[in-house]
Structures are given as C-alpha cells and as structure tokens.
Amino acid sequence: MELVATENQTMIAQMVRDFGAHHIRPHMMKWDESQEFPLDIFRKLGELGLMGVLVPLEYGGAGFGYTEYVTAIAELSKIDGSIGLSMAAHNSLCTGHILQHASEAQKSKYLPKLASGEWIGAWGLTEPNTGSDAGNMRTVAVEDGEYYVLNGAKNFITHGKSGNVAVVIARTGEVGDSHGMTAFIVERGTPGFTAGRKEDKLGMRASETAEMIFTDCRIPKENVIGNIGDGFVQSLKVLDGGRISIAALSLGIAQGAYEAALQYSKERHQFNQPISNFQGIGFKLADMATEIEAASLLTYRAADMKDRGLNVNRESAMAKLYASEVAVRTANEGVQIFGGYGYTKDYPAEKFYRDAKLCTIGEGTSEIQKLVIARTLLK
C-alpha cells in the first residue's frame, strides 16, 4: 500500500484548505451558534467537484476514488466538522446509494444534480424507535397500482428538511425480515412528504438534522431502487462505504483538535516557559499524535481496499470504531491542554470537543462496530 499522498490528494487537500480559509472559517461559529445550514457553501463545494467526489465523469462527478474522498472529508473536518459531516452524508449515503444500486435511468436523472450541488441529498433509514435495530422499522410502503404508498417517519436525518431528494428505506414485507425492506427515491415536493422537527444538537450544529414524515405519500414504481425487498441489504453495503466517511470525518476532527492544542502549547507560557516543555503536556501530545497516525492508517487502508473492489465490512468498521474514539479522546485532551480557555468559545477546542462525540454514534455506534468486527472474526 502506497503511504505517500498522490498528486490528486495533495491538490484536493490544498484546494479544501484554501476554500475553508476563505469561505468556512470566518463564518463557522456564527453558523454553530444559530444552527444555520449554509446551503450556499454546498453549492460552492459542488462547483469544486466535492459533492460528487465518487460519481463518474459521465454523470457530472469528479470521478475520484475513496482515497481522494477521505482526503477531502478529513481536510474539511479539520476546519469544521459540520461541513465535513454534511458533505460526507450527501456523497456516501444518498448519492452513494443511487450510484451503487440505482438503474441507469435513475442515475442519469439524479446523479448530475447531486454531483453539482444543485440538489442536496438525504438518506432515511433511522426511525424514532429503531436506531441500530433497523429491521423493526415501522415506516411502511404498500403497493397500490403503479405506486407505493409510504406512511411513517424517519428521524436524525441529515438534510431531512433541506434535502431536495431522499433515498428512503421502507418496510414492504414482514417486520424483522431482512428481505422485507425496499429503497425508494422520494423528491421534495411530493405530496405527503414533509419535514418534521429540526434537532437542537450538542455539536455539528451547522449540519442540519431533522425528521422526515410520510403521510399517504405516493411514490411511482419507477422510483424503486433495485428489486423489491433489497433495501436493507443495499443499505448495509452503503454503510460499509459510509463508515469510511465517518472515519475520515473523525480523523479530520482529531487532526484539527491536535494541531490547535499543539500550537497553543507552544504559545502558552507558565513558569517562564511554554507549557509544551512540561512532560505532562508532551505526553498528551505524543499520545494524540500516535493515535491519529494509527487512525489514519486504518482509514486509508479501508479506502484503498474499497477502491480495489474488496470487501471492506470489517476494515471499514475497524476504521470507524478506532478513528471515532480517537477523535473523542483527542478533543478531550485538547480542551485539557487549553485549560480554562478550552472551555470558552474564544478558542477552537470546545467546538472540536462537542463535534467529536457524534462520530461514535452516527452510521452505527461504537458498540455496533464491535459487533460487526466480532462477527467477521468468529465466522
């Protein structure tokens, strides 16, 4: 495995850093305070090719692979995890599901709009009473002539209010049947499809999270993705790639928290010397740097395997598990190094601290990742 950044990765990293310095960093705390979802930023990211990183050129995408994708998410997340999260969810979940499993007609219709950033994508699996237990979902789709009629609700959905199109998983068979769920493409504006409550969150506050509600929502059969009953199996495959996204998100947050703490430790003087001279601080920085390096290797290994078409079920779970826990530990130690200032909004440590925790929950909790890994070990 090549560990040196490619020319594409280097180019993307610099492009994202420049973009972030001009368009994100000056506004991100305002967005955080007001929970504003900055739609214009995602239109601009679309112009840079970052809303369709994995989408082939023929559908208007950038045509890159997962290694470039990981680089883009990590660099965005070093600046603002909220923007990294929304970019990742758009690319890997809604767009990724259509890219991997939709018909040619569906790809041609939706991917160009999603890849350009003209449309924002959402993906609906989680429900109020079924998080990890997706097999017991209560959103149902009943066949009615040339349509399916959807009833139910999805929650904790990224872009659940502002998304122009959503891929929604609904039950078309018996409860608990892994082949009893189907994926549908649902456009905003479809009668019976409405947005519910927007969540007031601890962190990632500029990334919109809201309910999607379906009341006698009629979806034409041409909007079914793949075969009836394949929705859950499709979702598991989508989540394998999605977990690499969250590993990259976690990696970026950890790197941002570490770099801020390192810089501060060199500038902050106590007892007539920089606090970085003290062993207590130096050891913290050493642990942070080592764990980030390990998380990076796990994440890029999973990305490399995904690019080569290999099964990444275990590797993506390992990367997501480890990188997300490292993000939390690094952000926590970052606050400690900043001391009292780390508890204020005048410095970046507190935001990394708030943002990091979601990484251990979204797209499968740390406990679910351990379950996935254990099952692969015990086969």
Q: Active-site residue numbers?
A: 363
Q: Which long-range contacts (CB under 8 A, 24 or more apart) does 54-61 make?
A: 54/91, 54/92, 54/95, 54/96, 54/99, 55/95, 55/99, 55/111, 55/114, 55/115, 59/99, 59/107, 59/108, 59/111, 59/112, 59/115, 60/111, 60/112, 60/115, 60/116, 61/111, 61/115
Return the CA Rg of the chain: 21
274-295 exposure pattern, b = at least 16 Cβ within 10 A, e = fewer: ebbeeeebeebbeebeebbeeb
Residue entry with tokens 């007609």: 105
Q: How many CB atoms lie within 10 A of CB 271?
A: 8
Q: Comparing C-alpha atoms, which of 114, 119, 123 is closest to residue 61? A: 114
Tokens of 251: 């990696």
Q: Comparing C-alpha atoms, which of 5, 67, 65, 8 is closest to residue 299? A: 67
**Cβ-based neighbours of 5, under 8 Å, separated by 6 or more:** 13, 71
Q: Comparing C-alpha atoms, which of 70, 59, 105, 57 is closest to residue 242? A: 70
Q: Comparing C-alpha atoms, which of 272, 255, 212, 244 is closest to residue 348? A: 255
**CA–CA gap between residue 320 and residue 95 (Å, rounded):** 20
